[in-house]
Amino acid sequence: MIESIRESISILDKKLLQVIQERMQLSDQVGKIKKQKNTPVKCPNTESDVLRRYRTIGSELNLSEKFCVDLASLLLEESVRIQKKS
């Protein structure tokens, strides 16, 4: 019983990482566009929107606000890193 649940978790973990990888590919594209337009990588308004969106969706899904904010912050940090090297 526990093993089949753990296997399901493992499958979801892989899917989750694949979606994150897709997100980072999009961040890379954004970084290239920003570079062409000579736009700063960090955009406080966009970051605020992302954090707000994660709080809202997290609340709808009954996830803790701290977890959602921490996750969004990690994703934003990695997106900025990727965009800087684009």
Sorted by where each starts, the structural domains of the chain and their CATH numbers stand as 2-85 (1.20.59.10)
Token duo for residue 62: 């009954």
Average pLDDT of the segment spanning 37-52 = 97
- The whole-angstrom separation of Cα 47 and Cα 53 is 10
Dihedral sign, Cα of residue 36, residue 37, residue 42, residue 46: negative
- The whole-angstrom separation of Cα 32 and Cα 38 is 10
In this prediction, residue 1 carries a pLDDT of 95
Q: Which residues of 49-75 are buried (b: 16+ CB within 10 A; e: fewer)?
A: ebeeebeeebeeeeeeeeebeeebeeb
- What average pLDDT does the chain have? 97
Average pLDDT of the segment spanning 4-16 = 98
